[in-house]
Amino acid sequence: MMEVLVTVVILSVGMLGIAALYVESLKSGQTALARTKAINLAADMADRVRVNRAGESFYNVGNAAAGATPVAQCGARNTVAAEECTAEEMAAYDIWLWKTMIGNSTVATARQSGLANASASIVRDASTLPITFTIQIAWSDRDDNQDYTLSFAL
């Protein structure tokens, strides 16, 4: 009878260990997914800046929220054709679209990134040659705050 009791205790401890390991793997998976989303969002904005080199100076927005929808809709969406835009209008549209994708916008129809309490900043450093941009995305994770920083030169 004592052997059965010891066996049950050992099995119970083992099962609790397996359950704890499973919970930890779920947390790690969520953290990895959030980091991947942040990396993709930062790379997306870096590509937008590289494409609009004539408007590179307009991408220096710090941590400002997206704000209202820009007047010029520079990208085609749904059934609305894209408008011809200046470099400044394209930068404003890119920033608005990117910030709404991150989710730190007051726009009700914003596409959320899945990053909790996310904020993002873009800083242009023209004092260096080549000009350097730093993109930082910060968000709240289950256990603590996370951030990802991407720096690139034009």
Residue 30 has pLDDT above 80, yes or no: yes
In this predicted structure, the answer to whether residue 89 has a pLDDT above a threshold of 50 is yes
- The gap from C-alpha 74 to its chain's centroid, in whole angstroms, comes to 22
Provide the token pair at 83: 């408008």
40 lies in which domain range?
A: 2-153
pTM of the model: 0.75
Backbone Cα Rg of the chain: 23
Structural domains counted in the chain: 1
Of residues 65 and 100, more confidence is placed in 100
